[in-house]
């Protein structure tokens, strides 16, 4: 199963989703990309993923254009911006799916409140991806 997780910046949500999905289903080939990738992955995304035993420190934001000619079982958008600006894929895409999450990078608050928001979004991503995998098995 080949899955591409798409976000606007490929800085937080899509990176966390890639790590979580790969942990939940190691046999899946999982990639993530952005329609307008940021310069680096968010350090708090790396931190909160490390807390649950997933290392995404080697990840980096990638441009979706690199994946447009490939075939995918699923292209999953995780933010509204990517959903609205999702490019046309030249390769076969069997299923397009939107599973939206709040952007923890947009949250304003104290450092502890911001970290809590990253954890909340991480946990929501894990919960929704577990449900996605359960539906695949049905």
Catalytic-labelled residue, pool 7, 17, 49, 121: 7
User: With contact defined as beta carbons under 8 Å apart, do 2 and 94 qualify?
Assistant: no
Q: At a CB cut-off of 8 Å and minimum separation 6, what does 95 contact?
A: 73, 74, 75
Query: CB-hemisphere CA count at 13 Å for 82?
Result: 32
Catalytic-labelled residue, pool 6, 46, 56, 79: 79
Can 79 be counted among the known catalytic residues?
A: yes
Can 86 be counted among the known catalytic residues?
A: yes
User: With contact defined as beta carbons under 8 Å apart, do 134 and 64 qualify?
Assistant: no
Q: Output the CA torsion 126→128→133→137 (10° steps).
A: 140
Can 7 be counted among the known catalytic residues?
A: yes
Dihedral sign for Cα 96, 100, 106, 110, please. Answer: negative
Would you name the residues annotated as active-site residues? 7, 79, 86
């Amino acid at each position: 199963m080949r899955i591409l997780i798409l976000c606007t910046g490929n800085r937080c949500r899509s990176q966390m989703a890639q790590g979580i999905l790969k942990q939940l289903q190691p046999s899946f080939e999982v990639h993530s990309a952005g329609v307008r990738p940021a310069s680096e992955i968010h350090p708090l995304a790396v931190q909160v993923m490390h807390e649950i035993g997933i290392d995404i420190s080697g990840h980096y934001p990638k441009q979706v254009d690199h994946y447009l000619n490939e075939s995918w079982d699923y292209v999953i958008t995780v933010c509204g911006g990517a959903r609205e600006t999702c490019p046309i894929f030249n390769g076969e895409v069997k299923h397009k799916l939107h599973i939206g999450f709040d952007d923890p990078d947009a949250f304003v608050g104290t450092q502890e409140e911001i970290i809590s928001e990253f954890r909340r979004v991480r946990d929501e991503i894990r919960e929704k991806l577990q449900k996605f995998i359960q539906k695949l098995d049905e």
